[in-house]
Amino acid sequence: MSRNRPAERTPDRNQLRINEQIRVTPVRVITSEGEQLGVIDTEEALTKAREAGLDLVEVAPTEKPPVCRIMDYGKFKYQQKKRQHKGHVHHSQNKEVRLRPKIGEHDFMTKVNRAKGFLEKKDKVVFSVIFRGRENAHVDEGFKLVERLIKELEEVSKVEQNPSMQGRRIVVTFAPR
């Protein structure tokens, strides 16, 4: 681009063109109530939008002819932003709780209650029974512990991934009911 042209505002891919930014004519127009006005000249569509005290917004620029909607653009952007933030409120996470095969009764119940708290907050819980040294010879003890775990958590969760041996650990995943 050797020529110096005035900086033309080209909208981003995710930014919609509004009012005078829409240069294509004719356009298919939809009213704020959702009623189709059909394919009309862009100037006429802009006039109708202004009469209603609203904006003409290009909602489907790739269509032939492009689809425009008469709406309150500020309100639309606000709702879009609000919807975007609402999605960030809570993503279901995987919480890991680690156990040893020779865990004491009180410690076991503490871990179970902790897991119940996670499940109530709609998080998934991954339990790992970790074996070290000679404990590897008693994997059956770990599976007994996991069976007891499933019984303790059955009213608040469902087993999403059945207990399986992964290296030196038994892994089981619980999802909230």
In a domain, 12, yes or no: no
Distance CA 113, CA 153 (A): 9
| Structural domain that includes position 140 | 94-176
Q: Are 98 and 80 in a shared domain? A: no
Buried b (16+ CB within 10 A) or exposed e, 21-40: ebeeebbbbbeeeeeeeeeb
In a domain, 7, yes or no: no
CB atoms within 10 A of CB 60: 15
> Looking at the 3D structure of the chain, how many domains does it have?
2
pTM: 0.49
Q: Are 82 and 99 in a shared domain? A: no
> Residue 62: which residues within 8 A CB-CB, separation 6 or more?
none
* CATH code of the domain containing 33: 3.10.20.80
For 81-128, the pLDDT digits (tens) are 888 777 655 556 889 999 999 999 999 999 999 999 999 988 999 999
In a domain, 164, yes or no: yes
Half-sphere exposure of 159 (CA within 13 A, CB side): 15
**Calculated CA dihedral for residues 82, 87, 89, 91, nearest 10 degrees:** -170
pLDDT of residue 7: 46
In a domain, 25, yes or no: yes
Specify whether the CB–CB gap between 177 and 157 falls below 8 A: yes
Q: Are 102 and 161 in a shared domain? A: yes
In a domain, 172, yes or no: yes
Q: Are 112 and 158 in a shared domain? A: yes
What's the mean pLDDT in 125-137?
92
Q: Are 50 and 121 in a shared domain? A: no
For 45-75, the pLDDT digits (tens) are 999 999 999 999 999 989 889 999 999 999 9
Q: Which of 70, 86, 102 is the last residue of a domain?
A: 86
Q: Are 82 and 106 in a shared domain? A: no
Query: Is a pLDDT exceeding 90 seen at residue 30?
Result: yes
For 33-44, the pLDDT digits (tens) are 889 999 999 999
In a domain, 64, yes or no: yes
Cα-trace Rg, the chain: 30
